[in-house]
Structure 1
Amino acid sequence: MELSETLHFDIDAVSQRLMDELYSLLAALPMLLLALLVIWLGWALGGWLSRRALLERVARRNPFMRELTRTSVRWAVSLLAVLVALEIMNATALVGAVLGTAGVLGVALGFAFKDTLENYLAGLLMSLRQPFAPRDHVVIDGNEGIVVALTSRATILMTLDGNHLRLPNALVFRSVTLNYTRNPSRRFQFDVGIGVSEDLIQAQQLGTDCIAALEGVLSEPPPRAYIVALADSSVQVRFQGWVDQRSHDFGLLKSEAIRQVKGVLEAAGMDLPEPIYRVQMIEPGQVHQAVQPTKSASAMAQGAVDTRATADLGPQIEADQRARSEQDLLDPAAPRE
């Protein structure tokens, strides 16, 4: 047998096969057009349903949930339309293959975008039950600042230094959050070393009376003083007071309390020893004289510092919120944890 006869190519068989496929395609063309029409109608119906007022009422206070609900409804209706179209084309066997491929692809994408999906889910959960409100003073995982916004991926803080701090929602969701704003009453405290030979009860009374007289210090709970330690050359007395953060600045009032208490104790002749060792040489029969105050209590009270609440970061936070293109998910009227 010659080689040319062995390699003979039958073009007629190929042509017949192509013509059969073409006839099949032409025969299925009306059903294909009908299937495409069903998919288009499903997409249009999904868009119409996603704009209904019912969905607005379901998530009217949560823009994140509102957008998620709209998208979910539209894609669910569209997917149902695709399944109907495949049934029309008698291609339901393709559904299993598509779902299997989608499952494998979903697992791969889940591992690839694990952090992104985790932040997105954490943002969704926090938008439903918000752990803080706008302008709250919080400490999250050691990061302190004022809450500016909550987005789908991150929580934005303005640090007390005026810096922009962006925390991933997943970190915020699993971290311990300290909220200074939730309870407007906040306690400050400081320690003062009193000489070991002084009247500690008098020192405590002088200090608490001084703190109670300061503007911004709450009368309930009242200021208190405790003896907390006996040092080498002094007795440590801890003074405490409560401040309403809505009207007065915590740091300024604490600073003023320390200044005023120090002045009152010195004016009363109290010894406030330095943390050093001192050798006192006293002649026999010599009486120890109390240190005379250099200023009177009324003189020390003069020149009081303004401790009212400040809004140094207010203009910066407002400017940041105006310039933000992404929608803020925080709502002052939303339920809190």
Structure 2
Amino acid sequence: MATVTNVQDQTSQGVVDFVSTIVAKVPAFILAVLVFGAAILIAKIVKAWAQRSILKSGSNEGAMSIVGKTAYIGTIVIGLTVALKILEIDISFIVAAMGFGLGFAMKDILENYFSGVLILVQKPFTVGDIIKAGDYVGKVEEIEARATFIRVFDGQRVIIPNSSMISGPVINYSAFPERRVNIDFSVSYDVNLQKVAELVTKLLKSNPKIMQEPAPWVSIGAFGDSNVDLVAHFWVDRSQANWLKLSTDVKRLIKETFEANNITWSYPVVTLNVNRHDSEDLYTVMDKTIPGSDKPPQEMIIPTNIETSSESGMHVEPVAGNDNMSAQG
């Protein structure tokens, strides 16, 4: 009986101690709640102030969003830390555990976030710029904490993580007002290259939309199997002309200039030498059976002294002096 009484006494004392502890903690708990609530209120005020400051500095909405969120979250974290300290809760272990977990779980998110901050601070490009990132070329529509939004020229919206924009090469076509345009074209080997270069250069210099300083010029690109590659170079002020439209207009004018001056474009040429004594199969052309027809294939013999042309431009003729026959196309 004494044992039961002792157990009851210990239990009662435990409950009393627990309630006493709770009662003793009530003021601290109330204070911690008030501190955290004040932190939320202050966080909203700090966020609004930070956003107004960013807008006054001339930065875009993306920078305003990132700075505002950073100020808000930072203030909340400070308030929560103070509240836990008031409750005499050791937060060192919690912070270490959260830091370890977040380090793995939020690695990519944090990397994109800080990359977004760098983009907004360094401004390698801004909203409205035409850029090339990876395989995508388009107009920057929005820069957020996590990603950059680009609308490519076919109308699709591409979302690129900010970490990729920082770690990879980005071409900003809007960084400078001037842009050089290169137009490739080819002519045959029998064309006077000096004449071609002079005609195209004169054409470029006569166009008022093309900058004359640096002066336009024509360079030789490469020698192909049946053609010489040339490149027309000229500079365009994007504030004065649309370089894509101007490039199309120049290509059309080059074609018209070639036609007016009887300059021939290059086309593939193949020369085939066949020994006359071993060319029976070349002179015998088998007509294919027409689908759905009972007509058998017909054999057609082509005389060796007659030149013939197919739709592909192939012609067969004897080669004088060496008992050979040449086929060109």
Matched, 1:21 2:14: yes
Give the Å deviation of 1:241.
1.1
- What residue number does 1:258 align with? 251
Relative to structure 1, is the Cα distance of residues 9 and 167 closer, same or farther in structure 2, using a 3 angstrom cutoff?
A: farther
**Residue 137 (structure 2) aligns with:** 144
2:134 paired with 1:134: no
Alignment partner of 2:184 out of 187, 191, 203: 191
Could you report, residue by residue, the CA deviation over 1:124-155 in whole angstroms, capped at 9, with x for unpaired residues? Answer: 33233332111211111222221111122221
- Alignment correspondent of 2:198: 205
Q: Secondary structure at the match of 1:11?
A: helix
TM-score by length of 2: 0.70
Q: Which amino acid aligns with 2:238?
A: Q
Q: Report the aligned-residue RMSD.
A: 2.7
Matched-pair contact (CA < 8 Å) for 1:195–1:271: yes
Alignment of 1:1-337 (within 5 A): 10-50=3-43, 51-52=45-46, 55=50, 59-60=54-55, 61=59, 62-86=64-88, 94-95=89-90, 98-277=91-270
Unmatched segments (≥5 aa) in structure 2 = 273-329
Deviation by residue 1:187-223 (Cα, 9 ceiling, x = unmatched)? 1112332343433222211101112223421122121
Using the TM superposition, give the Cα deviation of residue 10 of structure 1 relative to its aligned residue in structure 2, in angstroms: 3.8
- Structure of higher RCO (CA pairs closer than 8 Å, 6+ residues apart): 1
Quote the residue 1:286 is aligned against: none
Equivalent pair of 1:185/1:243 in contact (CA under 8 Å): yes
Q: Structure 1 length normalisation: TM-score? A: 0.69
Greater shift, 43-52 or 216-225, is seen at: 43-52
Task: Give, in whole Å, the separation in 2 of the partners of 1:149 and 1:56.
Answer: 17
Instruction: Give the secondary structure class of the aligned counterpart of 1:196.
Output: coil
- 1:240 is displaced (CA, Å) by 0.8
Deviations for 1:253-294, whole angstroms, at most 9, x for unmatched residues?
112111211221331233333232589xxxxxxxxxxxxxxx
Q: Which has the larger radius of gyration?
A: 2
8 Å contact kept, 1:207–1:265 = no
* Matched AA of 1:82: L
| 8 Å contact kept, 1:211–1:261 | no
Q: Provide the identity percentage.
A: 22
Report the 3-state secondary structure (helix = DSSP H, G, I; strand = E; otherwise coil) of the residue aligned with 1:162.
Answer: coil
